[in-house]
Amino acid sequence: MPNQHTTSGSSDTELLWHRHVPTLIDRAFAARDRAVSHRKIPFKVGVAALVQDPRDGRTAIIDGANYKPLPGSDGPRKCGEEDVEEEADRLGLYIIGMVIAAPHQPDDATGIDLGVTPSCTFCRCRWHTKHQAGRKYCVTPGTHLLFINADIPTIKVAMTVQRTMAIFNGATSQGK
């Protein structure tokens, strides 16, 4: 691929990710300002993704935020991850990794508490469904995830999508 950023080895993707993490953290926190939450203490999630164009290897950053203006399960809802994924998918880009800054909340399905808020059941179901369908999707099992406690930013948990699915019981049993 004719780009200085890419030699298509996974170690290079790894390097790109680690190099961009500080910038991605800033962008994820800034994106929280656009979050919409119905809660009395707003649940604001900001996401910043390092994306790569498979056609030329070029990278860029896309950010997004959650949108849940009404309580209950009937109203509109969008996770910060989903916001970013829609844009990446529309542009045919892959997500090398995402930084997700959110208030602390244990996992919605398993109750596992890592001091951060992991991607929710909706997100895990979406990834599972896309991967099951076998079509190309912007999020891959190797996509990096860095969860940050927005109130205590020193608390961070890094894992891949694959690992997240494994730890939090994939998406096969709950939340569909």
Binding footprint of Zn ion on the chain (CB under 5 A): 79, 120, 122-123
For residue 26, what are its two tokens? Answer: 């800033």
In this structure, the strands spanning 156-160 and 144-149 are antiparallel
Smallest distance, Zn ion to C-beta of residue 78, A? 9
Of 123 and 145, nearer to Zn ion (C-beta) is 123
Smallest distance, Zn ion to C-beta of residue 80, A? 7
Nearest CA among 76, 74, 56, 58 for reference residue 66 = 76
Smallest distance, Zn ion to C-beta of residue 10, A? 26
For residue 117, what are its two tokens? Answer: 């808020």
Nearest CA among 125, 105, 102 for reference residue 44 = 102
Of 120 and 146, nearer to Zn ion (C-beta) is 120
Of 14 and 108, nearer to Zn ion (C-beta) is 108
> DSSP assignment of 70-105, as one string?
SSSSSS--B-HHHHHHHHHHHTT-EEEEEEEEE---
Rg (CA), the chain: 16
Share of the chain residues as helix, strand and coil, in percent rounded to the nearest 5: 30, 20, 45
Closest residue to Zn ion, based on beta-carbon distance: 79
